[in-house]
Amino acid sequence: MRTLTEILELLFRRIFSSRVTFDDGAYIEFLNREAIMYTEKDGHRMEVVWYFQQERMKGRMLNASDINHWDAPHETERLSLKKKEEIQLKIVEYCRKRNIPLKINQNDSV
């Protein structure tokens, strides 16, 4: 039997979910102040670092070059340019759904 605390925590997570799920089963969720976690249905996942823009109220900044490798145990698999672009688009959609202003730095390209 669940305790009242567990039930409240579950309800809180459902109401204030930090996860955005996509049609293909992939999802992005808030990990911490410095990163989000991108996860695919098959278990591939990557921590993507993002930064506060210089003016704190302006939102976040993402360096496209930070979308570069899977976390273990898939770290040896290469990411195609197409996959990097797909992940970047999903991050843009995540931010749109969460009302987070996002600027993407393409200097190093995807």
User: pLDDT tens digit string along 60-104?
Assistant: 999 999 999 999 999 999 999 999 999 999 999 999 988 889 999
Q: Can you give the residue ranges of every domain in the chain?
A: 18-105
Asked whether 40 and 25 are in contact (CB, 8 A), the reply is yes
Confidence at residue 110, expressed as pLDDT on a 0 to 100 scale: 45
pLDDT tens for residues 8-42? 776 666 666 788 999 999 999 998 889 999 999 99
Q: Which of 42, 57, 54 is nearest to 100 (CA)?
A: 57
Token code pair at residue 77: 């698999």
Bond prior to 101 in cis (omega within 30° of 0)? no
Residue 62 CB coordination number (10 Å): 21
